[in-house]
Amino acid sequence: MDEGQRIQDISMGGLGNTSEWSFHPRAHLTEEDAKCAPDAGARLWQSWAPYWDLDRKVLVEKSPPNLTKMRYFQEIFPKSRFIVVTRHPVVQALAVRKWATPTHGRFTYGFPRLIEHWVHAHDVFAEDALHIENLLVLRYEHLMRDPAEQLGRVARFLDIELDANSVDAVGVRPGNRYAELWETGGRRQLGGRVRTHLARLGSRRGTPRADLLRDVTDAALLPRYRNVVNEHLGDRIRAHGYDLGRLDEAAPWAPAPIGAPAPLTAEA
């Protein structure tokens, strides 16, 4: 099944690319928007129901832009429950940048915009969370460290039972491969990676030219961007329970409104 945002007709999906959608004026929807479209619930059900097994106790829709639309969904689906999984903004940005535009992080240039996008979306979520009746927030870092405990929380929240296979299905990764990349720009492995890319030029294996460009620009720009992100977004990131120097850690989530200082403007 595709993400639900792609198979509906009421224009509430992600409006913009990976580094932009949360800044769109229509990205944030609340109960007031739902009241302006009284048939929204029925139309969404008609769009999504063919892709669900309606005999299941729990039906899931997991489009990322739902993060800033929970109040809207709560209004049109009053008994809905919301599970949010947050991940360190730097790790998230490094993981999704392959879908960003070339000037907003795909090849490192403009990478802070991806992190600013995460911060803005989570600022909106933090404010909205105060209005959500049934909400469970998990930290991705905690899920990787103790999947049994975190999935147990999910089971209790949804009033369902999970068997051992559900826990085993979580692919726990003991290390964070992004930590060294964020700290040094990947310079320690750059020589070997460049040789690998050059050896693959002209072959059909992957996209060596794009990979080569990304690795070289990472080494040149990521260490500089660390200072930019810390200066302009560090306080807001810490307010969400994350630290720019510890990519594997997260504080327990607690509902609290988050202020929104001036947006990031510097690029380097």
Q: What's the average model confidence in pLDDT over 248-252?
A: 94
Q: Say if residue 258's pLDDT is above 90.
A: no
Q: Say if residue 58's pLDDT is above 70.
A: yes
CA 257, distance to chain mean position in Å, is 19
User: Which string of b and e fits 69-100 if b means at least 16 CB within 10 Å?
Assistant: bbbbbbbbbeeeebebebbbbbbbbbebbeeb
Domain ranges of the chain: 1-80, 85-268
Q: Per mean pLDDT, which range of 110-114, 141-145, 206-210 is the poorest? A: 206-210
Q: What is the pLDDT of residue 262?
A: 43
pLDDT digit string, tens, across residues 83-108: 999 999 999 999 888 887 777 667 77
Q: Say if residue 137's pLDDT is above 80.
A: yes
pLDDT digit string, tens, across residues 168-196: 767 666 556 788 889 888 777 767 767 77
Q: What is the pLDDT of residue 204?
A: 62
Per mean pLDDT, which of 101-110, 113-122, 215-224 is the most reliable? 113-122
Task: Output the CA–CA distances (angstroms, integers) from residue 89 to 7, 46, 119, 195, in the order listed.
Answer: 28, 35, 7, 30
